[in-house]
Every structure is written in C-alpha cells, then in structure tokens.
C-alpha cells in the first residue's frame, strides 16, 4: 500500500492585532481550514504579528523585533508554545508552529517548533540566519536533525537554510523524506530565491519540500517588513509524479491568506531513486572524490 501523507501549508498573512488572544484566533482560523491533514505547517516568524500588540509598535525600530519573546510581564513565547501544544493535542494533528524569535541561554535565536498530539516533538534553531536577521540581535544554532514521525521522516530547513545545499543534504543523509521550510521573505526576489532553491533541493536529493511562507498586510511606513508569499508542496521533477514542474500543490495566487492542501506518496521517493530518469540522490555523491580534488587543481 502507498504511504501517503496529507499536508496543509497555512499561508499566514500578518496583520495588526490588539492582543495575544486575537493572534491565537487568527491562527486557529487557519487550523480549522487544515482539518484532516496529517501534517500542518505555519511559516517562519509569523509571530511578528504579536509585535503589533505593543502600544508604540509603529514607532519602534525593526531591531526591537525580539520584543515578541517577552514584553513587560507578558511572556509571549510561553503563550505561543502553550497555544500550539494545546491545538495539536485537541486536533490530533502534527503541527509545525512556524518559527519564533526567542531568548535561549542568553541568546536570541530563530526557533522552529514541531508539535504532535502528545506534546512537543522537536525544536530547531535556525543554523544560517539571513544577513538582515543580525539587525535583530539574532544568533545561529548548530544542529540539523531528522525527526521520525509516525507517518514520515522529516526535518527543518528554515528559509535561508534552503539556500545552503548542505542543510538539505545532511537531512536526507539522515533519512528525511519531507523537508519542512517555513520562510519569511520581504521581497519577491527573496521569495523566488527560496522557492527555486527548494525546488533544486527536492531534485538534488529526490525528496519532498514544503515551502510555507509568511505574508504581511502592514503599513508600508512601519517597522515590520512586508512579506511575499506563494506557498507550495514540491516534488522532484520526474515521471512518478503527475506534474512535470514538480509542483504537487501551491497557493492559487500570491499574497493571499489561504491553506494549501496536497498529498504526497513517500514510496515514490524510493522508486524514483532506484528507477528515475535522473537519479541525482545517488549520482551527486558518486564522484565525491573528485569534488575534493578540484579546488587543488584550480589553485595550482
């Protein structure tokens, strides 16, 4: 029997809200539309919506985004964790709670979360931050790990990590079948960098990629960055899949709030690696001895 996984990517569009409860209601509305999916994803740093709960948010510099961790006596990080732990349990779903800026051991990190019906399963600290993130005092994590769920082996490439081929390659070497890519790009240029790289990583590693991106409907003269989004579920471009362009499913149009639904057959990955027209998973490693030698020839 095929090992099919139903996926829902929640294309969240940030908007001004007045409280954490309003943010939670916003997230729950998308979760309602993701009903029945085995795996539900939210995008990177969609919790910046909480920044708009601060009375002076329009006057704050973007460097103050780390306030979404805690503002005064309000610990938004704990509220966020409790929200998604509760939702995963009540809905009986595995939920990627996007990512969130938080303080860990004295450092601000961009942390991605994966919750299951029985609680927290995995946390991933983004290992390659985009240069702009340094303006928010964000630092980098050091670990990329595959996670085994009841229905699939998965791992995180958060936004810019997708543009670093080694981040996907190490997950697939560990056995990952689906790579989870929450992202937040501020321009259409940035969106296509991540999207094209996600498609390339799917082809190189013969693996599924879920690109779930943040949008933003915020004042253009305010501190919050805009977001450009068209979320998608991607496969290698080869004959086991119906779509020649490798798109299993995607948002019908960019920059709208929607939930993208798709189903992937995990067995097709292994079939493609064995019998595919382009067995890149095997061949990109087949002559690794030469890759190590080539720089010495270049410098000779």
**Residues near 43 by Cβ (< 8 Å), separated by ≥ 6?**
10, 11, 12, 98, 182, 183, 184, 212, 213, 214, 229, 231
List pLDDT tens digits, range 225-245.
899 999 999 999 999 999 999
User: Span 91-118, mean pLDDT?
Assistant: 97
**Residue 151 contacts residue 177 (beta carbons within 8 Å):** no
- Residue 299 confidence (pLDDT) above 80: no
Mean pLDDT (the chain) is 94
Read off the CATH number of the domain in which 257 is found.
3.60.110.10
DSSP states of 72-124: TTB-HHHHHHHHHHHHHHHHT-EEEEEEEEEEETTEEEEEEEEEETTEEEEEE
pLDDT band at 297 (very low <50, low <70, confident <90, very high): low
Q: Which residues are catalytic?
A: 44, 126, 159
pLDDT of res. 163: 98
Give, for 197, the enclosing helix (H) or strand (E).
helix 188-205
- Compute the distance between CA of residue 231 and CA of residue 256 in angstroms, rounded to an integer: 10
DSSP states of 227-295: -----EEE--SSTTSS-TTSEEEE-SSTT--EEEEEEEETHHHHHHHHH-SS-HHHHHHHTHHHHHHHH
**Residue 156 contacts residue 149 (beta carbons within 8 Å):** no
List pLDDT tens digits, range 121-140.
999 999 999 998 988 889 99
Residue 32 belongs to domain spanning: 4-299
pLDDT band at 296 (very low <50, low <70, confident <90, very high): low
pLDDT of res. 293: 83
- Count of structural domains within the chain: 1
- Compute the distance between CA of residue 154 and CA of residue 209 in angstroms, rounded to an integer: 10
- Compute the distance between CA of residue 157 and CA of residue 160 in angstroms, rounded to an integer: 8
């Amino acid at each position: 029997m095929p090992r099919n996984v139903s996926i829902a990517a929640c294309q969240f569009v940030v908007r001004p809200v007045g409280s954490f409860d309003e943010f939670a209601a916003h997230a729950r509305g998308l979760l309602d539309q993701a009903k029945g999916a085995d795996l539900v994803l939210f995008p990177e740093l969609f919790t910046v919506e909480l920044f708009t709960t601060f009375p002076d948010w329009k006057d704050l510099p973007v460097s103050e985004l780390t306030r979404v961790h805690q503002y005064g006596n309000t610990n938004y990080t704990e509220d966020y964790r409790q929200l998604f732990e509760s939702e995963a349990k009540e809905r009986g779903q595995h939920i990627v709670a996007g990512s969130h800026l938080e303080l860990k051991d004295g450092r601000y990190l961009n942390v991605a979360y994966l919750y299951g019906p029985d609680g927290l399963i995995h946390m991933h600290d983004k290992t390659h931050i985009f240069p702009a993130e340094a303006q928010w005092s964000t630092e980098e994590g050091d670990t990329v790990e595959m996670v085994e769920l009841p229905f699939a082996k998965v791992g995180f490439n958060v936004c810019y990590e997708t543009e670093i081929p080694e981040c996907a390659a190490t997950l697939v070497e560990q056995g990952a079948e689906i790579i989870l890519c929450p992202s937040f790009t501020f321009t259409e240029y940035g969106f296509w960098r991540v999207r094209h790289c996600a498609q390339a990583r799917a082809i190189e590693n013969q693996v599924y990629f879920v690109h779930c991106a943040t949008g933003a409907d915020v004042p253009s003269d305010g501190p919050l960055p805009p977001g450009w989004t068209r979320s998608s579920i991607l496969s290698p471009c080869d004959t086991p899949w119906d779509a020649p362009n490798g798109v299993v499913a995607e948002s019908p149009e960019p920059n709208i709030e929607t939930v993208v639904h798709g189903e992937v057959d995990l067995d097709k990955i292994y079939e493609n690696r064995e019998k595919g027209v382009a067995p890149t998973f095997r061949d990109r490693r087949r002559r690794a001895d030469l890759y190590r030698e080539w720089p010495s020839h270049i410098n000779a």
